[in-house]
Amino acid sequence: MTVLVYAEHDNQELKPATLATITAGLAIDSDVHVLVAGANAKAVADSASQVVGVSKVLLADSPAFANQLAENVAPLVANLAPAYSHILAPATTTGKNFLPRVSALLDVNMVSDITKVIDTNTFERPIYAGNAIATVQNTESKIIATVRTTAFDLANATGGSAVVENVSAGDDAGKSSFVKEELAVSARPELTSASIIVSGGRALASGENFTKYIEPLADKLGGAVGASRAAVDAGFVPNDLQVGQTGKIVAPNLYIAVGISGAIQHLAGMKDSKTIVAINTDPEAPIASVADYFLEADYQVAVPELTAKL
Ligand SMILES: Cc1cc2nc3c(=O)[nH]c(=O)nc-3n(C[C@H](O)[C@H](O)[C@H](O)COP(=O)(O)OP(=O)(O)OC[C@H]3O[C@@H](n4cnc5c(N)ncnc54)[C@H](O)[C@@H]3O)c2cc1C
């Protein structure tokens, strides 16, 4: 058995999601290879080769993979598949985009969003927005799965010495083209990899209040800013800050929920956080059921006090 892990990267840096997916791969078998599909991505392959537990890195370097379009990546992975018993990708937008195509090309079913490896073909995954955990056994000859990266520890990024092998990269499938991307520029850490997150909810009432209350606290803590869907839908902050079932899944060391009630769809995205602090005027708010520390207070008073004391 050999496990192939698809690397999440931006052609320059290996993303932490890859390290968590490698840990999931190592829980299946000790022979883990990493595929880096990118353009001018040699530095990424070199980083992947340092990860402890990785025995080989495959580098598919081509302009066709510059933006990792699913239509180009899927045939590449399907072509490499015969050598592998398992193919894993992080359950990120990239992984969720191309891996179902690989599974269709190989005519095998896939398992989405695994949170635990029980044995080589049995996995746990959350269902009903995380309210139940399903144990899924896949009897396919080849296992294709996305990995919920917050459920696995990060593999050590240094200390390994895998070989890097170039693989025939393949051409542009010509089915899609990259037009543009607009990325929010922020000096704060990225939401899914931040170790501290301060999130605001509907109670913030405006974008100005995010700037006035949430951002200074996040900056004092060196954390990221998150939000509930109610805050996003109301236009207080952009939707890439949304945490939850239809937003980002996060599991930081510290999650501070300010004026967020804790609807199940929000909890689905953050309840695995190591320490949860809630600041809310309503002690009956559902967030209290998952909070390690609950401060019954008006955020307009409590948050500036907390920020000043840090
Ligand atoms: C299919 C589906 C998917 C969804 N996906 C998501 C998702 O991904 N993420 C998500 O967040 N939601 C999601 N939702 C929406 C979710 O159901 C809730 O509506 C939403 O999370 C509520 O946001 P909120 O907690 O900010 O607002 P509210 O529920 O209105 O809560 C506001 C809280 O602020 C408190 N408060 C009020 N004033 C103050 C004050 N001055 N100081 C301190 N506290 C105060 C209140 O006591 C209350 O608890 C989804 C819903 C559906 C149906």
pLDDT 10s digits, 60-92 = 999 999 999 999 999 999 999 999 999 999 999
Using CA atoms, how far apart are residues 299 and 255, in angstroms rounded to an integer? 15
pLDDT of amino acid 40: 97
Instruction: Give residue 2's pLDDT.
Output: 97
Query: Over the stretch 154-207, which tens digit does the pLDDT of each residue have?
Result: 999 999 999 999 998 778 999 999 999 887 778 899 898 899 999 999 999 999
Q: Mean pLDDT, to the nearest integer, of 222-240? A: 97
pLDDT of residue 29: 96
Q: Which residue intervals of the chain bear CATH 3.40.50.620? A: 3-166
Q: What is the pLDDT of residue 134?
A: 97
Q: Looking at the domain 191-309, which fold is it?
A: Rossmann fold (3.40.50)
Tell me, in angstroms, the distance from the centre of ligand 1 to residue 202's CA: 6
Instruction: Give the pLDDT of residue 238.
Output: 94
SS3 of residue 211 by DSSP: helix
pLDDT tens across 26-64, in order? 999 999 999 999 999 999 999 999 999 999 999 999 999
Choose which residue among 192, 280, 300 to substitute to test ligand 1 binding: the one with the highest number of ligand atoms within 8 A of its C-beta: 280
Query: Mean of the pLDDT values across residues 107-120?
Result: 97
Q: Tell me how far apart the alpha carbons of residues 129 and 265 are, in angstroms, rounded to a whole number.
A: 6
With a 6 Å cutoff on the Cβ, whether 191 touches ligand 1 is no
Residues 146-160: tens digit of each pLDDT: 999 999 999 999 999
- pTM, whole model, 2 decimals? 0.85
Q: Tell me: the pLDDT tens digits for 10-27? A: 999 999 999 999 999 999
CA of residue 147 to ligand 1 center, whole Å: 27
Q: Whose CA is nearest to atom 52 of ligand 1?
A: 265
What is the distance in A from the centroid of ligand 1 to the CA of 146?
28
Residue 128 has pLDDT above 80, yes or no: yes
Please, is 212 exposed, middle or buried when counting C-beta atoms within 10 Å of its C-beta (0-12, 13-18, 19+)?
middle
Which top CATH class is 3-166?
Answer: alpha beta
Two tokens at 25?
Answer: 């791969």
Ranges of CATH 3.40.50.1220 domains, the chain: 191-309
- Residue 11: both structure tokens together: 């052609």
| Cβ atoms of residues 111 and 138 within 8 Å | yes
Tens digit of each residue's pLDDT (9 = 90 or more) over 246-298: 999 999 999 999 999 999 999 999 999 999 999 999 999 999 999 999 999 99
Closest residue by Cα to atom 4, ligand 1, is 265
- d(Cα 231, Cα 115) in Å, to the nearest integer? 28
Q: What local confidence, expressed as pLDDT, does residue 171 receive?
A: 80
Q: What pLDDT, on a 0 to 100 scale, did the predictor assign at position 110?
A: 96
Secondary structure E strands in the chain = 3-6, 32-38, 54-61, 86-90, 110-114, 116-119, 122-127, 132-137, 143-147, 163-166, 196-200, 224-227, 254-258, 275-280, 293-296
d(CA 211, CA 194): 19
